[in-house]
Amino acid sequence: MSTFGQRLRQAIDARGPLCVGIDPHEALLRAWGLDASAAGVREFGLRTVDAARGRAGIVKPQVAFFERYGSAGFAALEEVIAAARAADLLVIADAKRGDIGTTMDGYAEAWLRPGAPLESDAVTLSPYLGTDALHAALTMALEHDKGAFVLAATSNPEAAALQKARVDEEETVAERVAHDVAARNIGAPGSLGPIGLVVGATVDRRAFGLDDIVLAGTPILAPGFGAQGAQPADLGSIFGYVASQVVASESRSVLSAGPDDLATRIEERAALYRGQR
């Protein structure tokens, strides 16, 4: 089996960098004519997967919108993830998990163990209990050809004070996270390692210490495209030399098209990104 980095490179080369967020929040469920229920988010997710099939290479279910419905919501998420992987879409579970010891072991088992009900291709992780605390998840990702995206410079303004804070005179918190992640990718085959970073498209990444050298070879999951303001035409100017490593996440800008026009909207947005290559 190829590594996650290799599969991600293939998906971006084949379909472009667009990542379709599966974010069934209540307002969108109403707009789609669906109930705010586990059944509603299941239908929403499956319709999005069907629209993305063959048009985009990557989807990102936002776990919280399924989790809010308890066990039935998780059952719906299991179906959506399984359908996406069966449709040859890479699945990034946006769970933002982060803990210590056996608790982190449990999260790793849940999202990255082959055969697990929630098995995904990659999961988002929070490093703010220390990147070493993510060892179980990162190790499992490497052992099973999975991936992870670790929060570094996120697109929400309230995160900047923490992520720009300096560990010492040389590094910001975000830069230290990036260096720890890059170390995990050493020796990985292909142009991309399996462990990536979350870097918002609407932030000045260099102000966080994330220049092209720090990010070289690291996959970048970039929220902030679409409704948050960044556009496909901005990909090169925002990310420069590392633009080819970017997974451009869009949710509301795509999902607002509604179920009838969703496939067309995905194809249009994906084509705009491919046109920047």
pLDDT for residue 25 is more than 70: yes
Residues 91 and 139: their CA atoms lie apart, in Å, by 19
Q: For residue 100, tell me if it sits in a domain.
A: yes
Q: For residue 199, tell me if it sits in a domain.
A: yes
Categorize the per-residue pLDDT at 274 as very low, low, confident or very high, splitting at 50, 70 and 90.
very high
Torsion of CA 167, 171, 173, 179, to 10 degrees: -120
Predicted local confidence at residue 277, as pLDDT = 64
Q: Is the dihedral of CA 260, 261, 264, 270 positive or negative?
A: negative
Burial 139-161 (b: 16+ CB within 10 A, else e): ebbbebbbbbbbbbbbbeeebbe
The single-letter DSSP state of residue 54 is: T
pLDDT digits (tens, 9 = 90+) for 32-61: 999 999 999 999 999 999 999 999 999 999
Residues 29 and 76: their CA atoms lie apart, in Å, by 14
| Cα Rg of the chain (Å, integer) | 17
pLDDT digits (tens, 9 = 90+) for 60-78: 999 999 999 999 999 999 9
Q: How much is the average pLDDT of 191-206?
A: 95
Burial classification of residue 233, based on how many CB atoms lie within 10 Å of its CB (0-12 exposed, 13-18 middle, 19 or more buried): exposed
The single-letter DSSP state of residue 171 is: -
Predicted local confidence at residue 169, as pLDDT = 79
Q: Give the number of domains in the chain.
A: 1
CATH of the domain at 186: 3.20.20.70
Q: For residue 60, tell me if it sits in a domain.
A: no
Q: For residue 143, tell me if it sits in a domain.
A: yes
Categorize the per-residue pLDDT at 115 as very low, low, confident or very high, splitting at 50, 70 and 90.
very high
pLDDT digits (tens, 9 = 90+) for 224-244: 998 788 899 999 999 999 999
Predicted local confidence at residue 220, as pLDDT = 98
Q: 60 an active-site residue?
A: no
Torsion of CA 164, 165, 168, 171, to 10 degrees: -10
Q: How much is the average pLDDT of 182-211?
A: 94
Q: How much is the average pLDDT of 104-126?
A: 97
Short-list 235, 84, 208, 220, CA closest to 147: 220
Q: Which domain holds residue 187?
A: 4-18+91-272
Of 60, 96, 146, 164, which is the active-site residue?
96
Are 149 and 186 contacting, i.e. CB atoms less than 8 angstroms apart?
A: no
Computed over every residue of the chain, the mean pLDDT equals 95
Q: For residue 212, tell me if it sits in a domain.
A: yes
Q: For residue 165, tell me if it sits in a domain.
A: yes
- In three-state secondary structure terms, 250 is strand
Predicted local confidence at residue 275, as pLDDT = 83
Q: For residue 37, tell me if it sits in a domain.
A: no
Q: How much is the average pLDDT of 146-168?
A: 94
Neighbours of 55 (CB within 10 A): 21
Predicted local confidence at residue 219, as pLDDT = 97
Q: For residue 23, tell me if it sits in a domain.
A: no
Predicted local confidence at residue 190, as pLDDT = 85
